Amino acid sequence: MPVVSPTGPYLVPALITAAGGDQAGWHYVEFFTANINNDHTRRAYARACSRFFAWCEKRGLSLGAIRPFDVAAWVKELQDKPAYSISSRHTRSATN
């Protein structure tokens, strides 16, 4: 569900609206717009949340079913990808 806020449009993950409808969607957007002042940080956090919720949807998790274990599994999966590894980041930084 796209929502337009004072800081720009947001695409609310289906997991959020499925759990609480339009009101939940507005709370999701308000979190980013009211709590994170820096535009770049806000967009980065929103992208990360969207990716996490997409990961959850692929696994059939509802918003209420997500547990700390699921977050840890997602983070571990990211860390195991070469693009996210520390040595890979250092290599790219050193060669740029």
- Within this chain, do residues 22 and 44 fall inside the same structural domain, yes or no? yes
**72, pLDDT greater than 80:** yes
The C-alpha atoms of residue 74 and residue 51 are separated, in whole angstroms, by 10
Range(s) of the domain holding residue 44: 1-62
The C-alpha atoms of residue 1 and residue 13 are separated, in whole angstroms, by 7
What tokens does 93 get?
């930084």
The predicted model scores a pTM of 0.71
- Within this chain, do residues 10 and 54 fall inside the same structural domain, yes or no? yes
- Within this chain, do residues 8 and 54 fall inside the same structural domain, yes or no? yes
How big is the chain, counted in residues?
96
User: Between the CA of residue 73 and those of 1, 38, 59, 77, 91, what are the distances in Å?
Assistant: 27, 28, 12, 6, 25
**14, pLDDT greater than 80:** yes
**8, pLDDT greater than 60:** no
What pLDDT sits at residue 95? 33
- Within this chain, do residues 53 and 84 fall inside the same structural domain, yes or no? no
**Chain segment 30-59, per-residue pLDDT in tens:** 888 888 888 888 888 888 888 899 999 999
**91, pLDDT greater than 90:** no
Q: Who's near 58: CB < 8 A, 6+ residues apart?
A: none
- Within this chain, do residues 11 and 37 fall inside the same structural domain, yes or no? yes
- Within this chain, do residues 15 and 45 fall inside the same structural domain, yes or no? yes
- Within this chain, do residues 20 and 57 fall inside the same structural domain, yes or no? yes
- Within this chain, do residues 6 and 51 fall inside the same structural domain, yes or no? yes
To which H or E segment does residue 3 belong? Answer: strand 2-5
The C-alpha atoms of residue 11 and residue 28 are separated, in whole angstroms, by 10
